[in-house]
Amino acid sequence: MAIIRKEILQISRDVRTLAFILGLPALLLLMFGFALNFDVKHIPFAVCDESRSAAGRELAGRFTRTEYFDLKYNLSDSRDLDHLMGEDRVKAALVIPGDFADNLAAGRPAPVQVIVDGTNAASASTAAGYIAAILQDYSLRATTEIFEARGLGRLSTPLNVETRVWFNPELRSANFLVPGLMAFILMVIVVVSTAFSIVREKERGTMEQILVSPLRPLELIVGKTIPYVFLSLISSHAVLFLGYVLFGVSIKGNYFLLLLAMTLFVIGGLGQGLFISTITRTQQVAFQLALLSSFLPTFVLSGFIFPVRNMPAVIQAATYLVPSRFFLDALRGIILKGAGIGALWEDLLLLAGFAALTLGASVLKMRNTADEGKGGKIKRRRALR
């Protein structure tokens, strides 16, 4: 309790630490939430209709009537597409040949050309998928009209596909990103903030007094952890609130299960920060280690941006060392799917194991440091005698 009171007083007097723990997560959510967006819409689009026919205009109109494509240029010569693509004015284009309407009316194959800027592979793949779906629908309708015009009856397809998207019907990238941002922000904040905790005592010269006091290493670690746990939980709830207000991401599952996952993850991150603090001597080195061990693994290996299943087998094995992966699975399961303990118990168990490991390592390192400090003090007393 003495260490808890001391930490609370010290944090309350340190405006920068309070701003870092409470204000920075909200700021990062605003920045990343609006900047990161995987929704591919309003693609700059060009049409070159060399047929100048009603059928060509109907096909081009199917693209302009959606929110995915914005018609920027209506060309008469396909050679104009070279400099438009080169100058990044359009990202996709449709070329309708001059004999398009005649081929369509005669029931012959009516080829069209689609050009997509592949500079950004993800956006290009999505755009190509949109175009393929529009052309397929148009082709099916045109074939049906030809059958009816020839008196062959109405064409019926053997497969009737009805796609239903669960958990994110509108396919909004915010629903995918906000839980990931929460895991990413929390991991960086809690590790960096507590990495300064013990090393600050070393720089001020108060650590030697603490080490020779009756205080045990476990009591010191727990006392320094508890205030940061509550501050981190307040910060995480602020992120949840902003995610709901700004991006419409609400909690579909059990709140107390989410609170348990957050608590385990925060304790593990704090334990990691405290361990870094016990093995470093300056705040500068502690900051660098904390940032290196939290920022890069969480951003790259947790599944926040890059799906883990698409990584090589060796990298997938390495992701099991990143606690953010399990926390992110739990977050998306609870917030988006409304999953229960039956689906998430493995993630929660691994988060608990990570928390126990980091706190245990911090206690052991602090115990060794305390023994070394007491041994050094005894040697100095003997030397003075």
Q: Is the pLDDT of residue 148 over 60?
A: yes
State whether 254 and 330 are in the same domain: yes
CB atoms within 10 A of CB 353: 14
State whether 325 and 184 are in the same domain: yes
State whether 198 and 335 are in the same domain: yes
Mean pLDDT (the chain) is: 83
What are the phi and psi torsion angles at 170 (to 5°)? -85, 0
49 DSSP assignment: E
Asked if residue 1 is part of any domain, the answer here is no
Per residue in 174-192, pLDDT tens?
Answer: 788 888 888 888 888 888 8
Give the domain-ending residue among 95, 117, 149. Answer: 149
Helix, strand counts (H, E) of the chain: 16, 4
State the pLDDT at residue 264.
Answer: 93
Per residue in 236-274, pLDDT tens?
Answer: 888 888 888 888 888 898 999 999 999 999 999 888 888
Written as one letter, the residue type at 341 is I
Asked if residue 81 is part of any domain, the answer here is yes
**Is 71:47 a contact under the CB 8 Å cutoff?**
yes
Domain that residue 191 falls in: 7-36+172-384
State whether 17 and 72 are in the same domain: no
State the pLDDT at residue 354.
Answer: 93
State whether 89 and 230 are in the same domain: no
Give the domain-ending residue among 109, 134, 149. Answer: 149
Residues contacting residue 118 through CB under 8 Å, at least 6 positions apart: 124
Structure tokens given for 293: 């061990």
State whether 356 and 327 are in the same domain: yes
What is the average per-residue pLDDT within 292-321? 87
State whether 74 and 101 are in the same domain: yes
User: Of 139, 91, 137, 98, which Cα lies nearest the Cα of 114?
Assistant: 91
Asked if residue 346 is part of any domain, the answer here is yes
pLDDT band at 330 (very low <50, low <70, confident <90, very high): very high
What is the average per-residue pLDDT within 90-115? 87
Cα maximum dimension of the chain: 116
State whether 180 and 286 are in the same domain: yes
State whether 83 and 196 are in the same domain: no
Residues contacting residue 285 through CB under 8 Å, at least 6 positions apart: 199
Give the domain-ending residue among 118, 149, 180. Answer: 149
State the pLDDT at residue 283.
Answer: 81
State the pLDDT at residue 347.
Answer: 93
In angstroms, the CA 303 to CA 311 distance is: 10
Q: Is the pLDDT of residue 379 over 60?
A: no
Angle at 123 between CA 177 and CA 335, to 5 degrees: 15
In angstroms, the CA 290 to CA 263 distance is: 20
State whether 19 and 110 are in the same domain: no
State whether 297 and 342 are in the same domain: yes
State whether 301 and 336 are in the same domain: yes
In angstroms, the CA 273 to CA 201 distance is: 14
pLDDT band at 151 (very low <50, low <70, confident <90, very high): low
Task: Give how many domains the chain has, as a whole number.
Answer: 2
CA dihedral 69, 174, 38, 329 (to 10 degrees): -140
Q: Is the pLDDT of residue 78 over 90?
A: no
